[in-house]
Amino acid sequence: MAELPGQIRRMGGGISQLLEQIYGFSRRCLFRVISMGPTPCHIAFIMDGNRRYAKKRGLEDGSGHKAGFSALMSMLQYCYELGIKYVTIYAFSIDNFRRKPEEVESVMDLMLEKIKSLLEKESIVHQYGIRVYFIGNLALLNDQVRAAAEKVMKATAKNSRVVLLICIAYNSTDEIVQAVKKSCINKSDNIEASGNYKHEDRGSDIEGTDMENQEKKIQLVDIEENMQMSVAPNPDILIRSSGETRLSNFLLWQTGNTQLCSPAALWPEIGLRHLLWAILNFQRNHSYLEKRKKQL
């Protein structure tokens, strides 16, 4: 008689496992169908609404972010199953440092814990062979988080199947200014290295002062190369949860032609249907965008 509750529990566990497998199988079938159309190469997420979720559910501060992390893991799994190679997430903005110190500290602690967990054998990194990049002004982070981030980047450097870019201590305007500074430094190095430039130019058809020639040296491609996000192509889709429709200083340079989606669900409530809706919209506009690209 004492075995009965155990048996019931085992049966219940078995049934839920079976249901999970059926769900996983049907999901993968659905993904196969969707993959017949054009699939985005790169999706970016602004994970907004964790604090509002915690408030809504009457949870303690910090629980919202934990729930948000679970939602993130599910999203990553869906993206990689769909064959999306690059996923970028906006984990922490430079502006977020202005929040209450207790909140910033709790978020940093959570991030440290989760970054360290990425190195574990059972983590999603090893499951999908993810290469992880941490993008942002890492000098603004505390030593522990920065060290953990660098360790993860080093440990996953050899992975090449899929890529996860985590924007932490990041602002797009900061990224652009850093890239511009680097381009200027590289340019002046190039000028010093090629001292014969002025001499060679006299024979060419291009006329202009020295200043103009030096200016011509800085091109769009120079700035692009020096962007931290240059390790990935521009995002095809940007999804911001919680219904807010703004970029909040995220990937401004890279999202010139990105499709923007803003589902009303808070980040911990985000689900497969939101991702599918974004991808179906992407597929609808894809042929028009390809035609325009050819026109250029």
Partner 1 sequence: MNFMIHANHLLVLFTLSTMLSMLWFLLSLLSLLLLPCLRPCFPAKGSLKNKKKIDKGTYVVGEEETPKELQRELMPRHVAVIMDGNRRWAKQTGLLTSQGYEAGAKRLLEFADLCFKLGINTVSAFAFSTENWGRHKIEVKCLMYLFQRYLKSKIQFFQSKEIRVSVIGNLAKIPESLLRTVHELEEATKSYKKKHLILAIDYSGRFDILGACKSIVKKSEQGLIREEDVDETLFERELQTKCTEFPSPDLLIRTSGEQRISNFFLWQLAYTELFFSPVLWPDFDKQKFIEALVSYQRRDRRFGSRL
List the catalytic residues.
Answer: 48
Tokens representing 190?
Answer: 């190039």
Report how far residue 36's alpha carbon sits from residue 205's, in angstroms, rounded to the nearest whole number. Answer: 51
Nearer Cβ to partner 1 (157/185):
185
Of 35 and 248, the one with the shorter C-beta distance to partner 1 is 248
Size of the site for partner 1 (CB under 8 A): 47
List the structure tokens of 21: 């497998």
Structure tokens at 222: 């120079």
- Cα separation, 238 vs 272, in Å, equals 15
Residue 12 CB, shortest distance to partner 1, in Å, is 40
Q: Using the rule CB under 8 A, is 296 a contact of partner 1?
A: yes
Is 258 a residue that touches partner 1 (CB under 8 A)? Answer: yes
Centroid of chain to Cα 175: 15
Closer residue to partner 1, CB minimum distance, 84 or 251: 251
* Binding pattern for the stretch 185-214 against partner 1, x by CB under 8 A and - elsewhere: x-x-----------------------x--x
| Helix residue ranges, H only, 118-171 | 124-128, 143-155
Strand arrangement, sheet containing 86-93: 130-135, 162-170, 86-93, 42-46, 237-240, 259-261
Which residues 218-247 are close enough to bind partner 1 by CB under 8 A?
218-220, 223, 244-247
Rounded to a whole number of angstroms, the minimum distance from the CB of residue 129 to partner 1 is: 32
Contact (Cβ atoms closer than 8 angstroms) between residue 289 and residue 257: yes
Of 261, 266, 270, 275, the one binding partner 1 (CB under 8 A) is 261
Least separation in angstroms between residue 184's CB and partner 1 is: 6
Q: Which stretch binds partner 1 (CB under 8 A): 37-45, 141-149, 159-167, 250-258?
A: 250-258
The runs of H, that is alpha helices, within the chain are 3-34, 50-57, 63-81, 101-117, 124-128, 143-155, 172-193, 197-201, 210-217, 220-226, 272-295
> Could you list the residues that contact partner 1 (CB under 8 A)?
51-52, 93-96, 98-99, 171-174, 176-177, 180-181, 183-185, 187, 211, 214-215, 218-220, 223, 244-249, 252-253, 255-261, 281, 285, 292, 295-296
